[in-house]
């Protein structure tokens, strides 16, 4: 989609619904649904005590939810977050990040989680290389994929209402499943499992979860 048509798309959305409505919709409905589903989805791949970096953690609410969920199963997962935008009242420690070089040592964490981050990145490959550098065992990626123009429209709509009210950069940079696989082929990782899903019937977004060993 061209820059002009993207701008037109956003202007129409702003005309339909004001930002305060988007914020309320996110905080009281969409974010809790997302957090509940992703807590269960991601926790399945975290089966032992570990140090975890949540790359692009926002306020850390999802990481904290996973940490709490795992603790109930007797698994001690200690999360640290990093983000280019530090939110108020973070649920976990969050370290500022310049979007290029992670401020951590090589192999500092057992696991790195990257949830709905790469489609915002200028260079997803560069972000992944840094995640792999600091990960000792595992990288968990959750993002989106598309197969047709209707999918793209649904992703842009959802991305806009979920992020624009919080001033998050929106390049609308989504991959097909084949493009994800091509990207991973450029890295020294093993794709252990891939899972595709929607949050619910009627969800306009197609979600993809990839478990990598490093």
Is residue 38 predicted with pLDDT exceeding 90? yes
DSSP 92: S
Average pLDDT over residues 133-146: 98
Residue 36, classified by CB atoms within 10 Å of its CB into exposed (0-12), middle (13-18) or buried (19+), is middle
Q: What is the pTM of this model?
A: 0.87
- What is the reported pLDDT for 1? 43
- What is the reported pLDDT for 157? 78
Is residue 131 predicted with pLDDT exceeding 70? yes
Average pLDDT over residues 180-202: 95
Alpha-carbon torsion (71, 74, 80, 84), positive or negative? negative
pLDDT tier at 17, thresholds 50, 70, 90: low
DSSP 27: I
CATH superfamily of 3-195: Vaccinia Virus protein VP39 (3.40.50.150)
In the numeric block, which tokens belong to residue 42? 């991601």
Half-sphere exposure of 187 (CA within 13 A, CB side): 22
Q: How confident is the model over 79-92, as pLDDT tens digits?
A: 999 999 898 899 99
- Closest of 95, 98, 135, 93 to residue 114, by C-alpha: 135
Q: Return the SS3 of 101.
A: coil
- What is the reported pLDDT for 32? 83
Domain ranges of the chain: 3-195
% the chain with pLDDT above 70: 83
Mean pLDDT of the chain: 88
CA distance 193 to 24: 35
Place of tokens 């989805």: 41
Q: How confident is the model over 152-162, as pLDDT tens digits?
A: 998 987 777 76
């Amino acid at each position: 989609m061209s820059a002009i048509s993207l701008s037109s798309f956003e202007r129409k959305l702003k005309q339909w619904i004001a930002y305060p409505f988007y914020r309320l919709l996110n905080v009281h409905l969409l974010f809790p649904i997302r957090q509940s589903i992703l807590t269960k989805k991601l926790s399945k791949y975290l089966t032992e005590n570990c140090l975890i970096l949540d790359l692009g953690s926002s306020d850390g609410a999802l990481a904290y939810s996973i940490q709490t969920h795992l603790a109930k199963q007797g698994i001690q997962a200690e999360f640290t977050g990093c983000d280019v935008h530090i939110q108020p009242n973070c649920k976990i420690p969050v370290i500022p990040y310049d979007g290029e070089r992670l401020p951590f040592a090589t192999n500092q964490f057992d696991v790195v989680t990257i949830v709905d981050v790469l489609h915002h990145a200028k260079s997803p490959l560069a972000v992944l290389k840094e995640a792999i550098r600091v990960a000792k065992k595992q990288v968990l990626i959750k993002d989106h994929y598309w197969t047709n123009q209707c999918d793209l429209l649904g992703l842009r709509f959802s991305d806009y209402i979920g992020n624009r009210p919080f001033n998050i950069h929106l390049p609308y940079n989504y991959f097909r499943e084949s493009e994800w696989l091509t990207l991973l082929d450029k890295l020294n990782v093993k794709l252990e499992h891939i899972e595709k899903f929607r949050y619910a019937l009627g969800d306009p977004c197609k979600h993809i979860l990839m478990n990598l060993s490093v």
